[in-house]
Amino acid sequence: MDRRFGSRAYQYFEFVVVQAVTLLMAIVVTAALAHLVVNIAHDILATTFDPTNAAVFQSVFGGIFTVVIALEFKRSILVTSERDEGPVRVRVVILIGMLAIVRKLIIMDLAHENALQLLALSVAFLSLGIVYWLVRDQDRREMKD
């Protein structure tokens, strides 16, 4: 009886935390989107918006990826809180990490970055890809059994 109460109490605590984090993430996503829209509108109205300029392209897509990563993070919190499957949570965290690395690579100014940092990001991305593949492969084998 006591163990069941502790389990239910923790489930309720986790529910409250997930709801609070979801609300905060919704606020952050809304603020990031508003900031992105205002910046792009300002650049277009000021006629400084040149999508062929690499710096402008990197800035716009960096902002877009920030919003996408925040949305994916918020969605993953909601989806994984409804499930108790550990591998699903691991895969979501890995995918969010991969999105963050892709965002970093897009906004990176290659003229000012050293090769070692680019190599480190590439190795991190490759490592996350391998871990994702291993977790997914393990899930497939467990489903067959």
Domain edges within the chain: 2-144
Rounded CA separation 113/4 (Å): 54
The pLDDT value recorded for residue 84 is 60
Per-residue tens of pLDDT for the chain, all 145 residues: 566 767 788 778 888 888 888 899 899 899 989 999 998 888 888 877 777 787 777 788 888 888 888 888 787 777 766 666 555 677 878 888 898 898 888 878 777 888 899 999 999 999 999 999 998 888 788 777 6
> Own/partner pairs for 30-33, CB < 8 Å, 24+ apart?
32/63, 32/66, 32/67, 32/70, 33/67
Contact 62, 93 (CB under 8 A): no
